[in-house]
Copies of this chain bind each other. A is one copy, B any other.
Amino acid sequence: MSTDVAGPRTAFILSIGDELVAGEILDTNAMAIAAELARRGVRTLGHGTLPDDRGRIAGALVDAAAVADLVVATGGLGPTADDLTRFALGDVVAPGADLVEDEASASRLRRWFKARASRTVATNLVQALRPSGARMLANEHGTADGLLVRHGGATIVCLPGPPREMRPMLEGTLDALVPAGGGLPSGAVLACGLPESEAADRLGDLMDRGRDPVVGTTAADGVVAARVRAIDADEAAVRRDLDAVERAWAPYAFGRDGATPATAAGAALRRAGETVVTAESCTGGLLGGALTEVSGSSAWYLGGVTSYSNGLKRALLGVPDEVLERHGAVSAETAAAMARGALARLGGDWALSVTGIAGPDGGTPEKPVGEVWIGIAFGGDGGPRARVRRFRFRGDREVIRRRTVQTALVMLRLAAVRIGGPATVEPDPPLTWEAAGPAAEAPS
């Protein structure tokens, strides 16, 4: 199949590694690559996963190059004996010939190890070898360079397996291969705090099959996305649909492609010129960790306290003994006292608090695993006020903690845009996983 001047139209993706085939690690690369190709208007025909077997890799490269304009392979480029992709590629594009050492790559490797005051272990220099005719793709984040070579009418690109190394190399390579703007107009609106079924219902006719642009929803990790894709429609039509989705999803819609609940909360605080502090228990610091994912977060996040033990809830946040004894660490009263304590001792305009049972142990019939209180306090003119909400998250420890963080971020964003914060009289919009019973001004 030939590649026209407009760049590749179709692709096949190969994931290489014994550990992938055996189910020891999860392959996220194939999905990331297919999604990136789709954004650029390149259609993926299929994926294959195969072991560290030189003959199998060579065979798969040949088969894929016969059906697709572009073959993207990941894995098997490292320095160890089971990294065989470069040799298999050589078997395909320069059979019988030895690999050649790429000078630029070899000297980059020497610099890399020197900068780390590490001996250039000879083993590593295998990573500078390439089939004759192939060129290296520089790796800014690791030692294994990628490889690119034309074969028949197809382009074969071999990328390192670690996603952090693969991603920038993929993007750089595609920038050169697929002319910008080759993708059809598309965009996404993201929302958090409502279930996917309700999100879809709210879109009504927008989701009709056969419509142009096409609107489809997906949900992952509590974030619902509506992707709007033009078939023959123009960019203005896509923009119009994106705006319509955003209105339909108010107040849960928090941004477009690339936004996260944390960046959205940060942007709202920045616009309001306000700051936040945190007081965490079952999340152990993950809420602060999520807020500080956002670069520049020091402008609106001051810091926090993780009071995992009751002793530290008293010592660091001033939660009264009697509150802990009478209501327990997982209660409306403790969540409110944590939020007020954080505001008083750490400062800031808002304080978020979290206390709950992430499991797998510690649940009771009254307070089962997944029961979490989230508090938010505000130091307004009339003195500090706190509001608390109760959630029942499903899932294992990791999922419960992740959903807790996400829900706290949604509460913070809504508060900072003056919807449902303690400083406003707006009603609280209901949130996914919220336990029955209305949110209430916290008891003091």
- Chain A residues close to B by CB (< 8 Å): 17-28, 30-38, 43-52, 56, 78-82, 116-118, 121, 123-124, 141, 143, 162, 164, 188, 195-198, 200-201, 207-209, 216-221, 227, 278, 280, 282-289, 291-293, 295-298, 301-309, 311-312, 315-316, 345-347, 358-361, 394-399, 401, 433, 436
Known: A25-B218, A124-B197, A361-B295. A305 touches B308 (CB 8 A): no
In Å, the complex CA distance between A306 and B305 comes to 6
In Å, the complex CA distance between A143 and B50 comes to 32
**Other-chain residue from B44, B284, B291, B308 in contact with A284 (beta carbon distance below 8 A):** B291
Copies of this chain in its oligomeric complex: 2
B49 and A46: CB pair below 8 A? yes
**Other-chain residue from B207, B287, B316 in contact with A80 (beta carbon distance below 8 A):** B207
A34 and B25: CB pair below 8 A? no
In Å, the complex CA distance between A304 and B284 comes to 8
Q: Inside 8 A of A293's CB, which chain B residues have their CB? A: 284, 397-398, 401
In Å, the complex CA distance between A433 and B116 comes to 7
**Other-chain residue from B30, B289, B307 in contact with A283 (beta carbon distance below 8 A):** B289
Known: A288-B285, A308-B303. A22 touches B49 (CB 8 A): no
Q: Inside 8 A of A302's CB, which chain B residues have their CB? A: 308-309, 311-312
Nearest CB in chain B: distance from A138 CB, A: 14
Q: Inside 8 A of A287's CB, which chain B residues have their CB? A: 285
A-B contact pairs, 23 of them (CB 8 A): A20-B31, A21-B44, A22-B35, A23-B38, A24-B188, A25-B220, A26-B31, A26-B220, A48-B49, A164-B396, A278-B285, A283-B289, A284-B293, A285-B289, A288-B306, A295-B360, A297-B308, A298-B308, A301-B308, A303-B305, A303-B306, A305-B305, A316-B346
A34 and B21: CB pair below 8 A? yes
Known: A141-B395, A197-B79. A26 touches B23 (CB 8 A): no
A304 and B285: CB pair below 8 A? yes
In Å, the complex CA distance between A49 and B50 comes to 12
B220 and A162: CB pair below 8 A? yes
A399 and B121: CB pair below 8 A? no
B21 and A45: CB pair below 8 A? yes
Top-10 shortest CB links A-B: A23-B34, A284-B292, A285-B285, A285-B288, A23-B35, A47-B49, A286-B289, A303-B312, A303-B308, A285-B289
The closest CB in chain B to the CB of A287 belongs to B285
B24 and A30: CB pair below 8 A? no
In Å, the complex CA distance between A303 and B282 comes to 10
A359 and B295: CB pair below 8 A? yes
**Other-chain residue from B221, B292, B436 in contact with A285 (beta carbon distance below 8 A):** B292
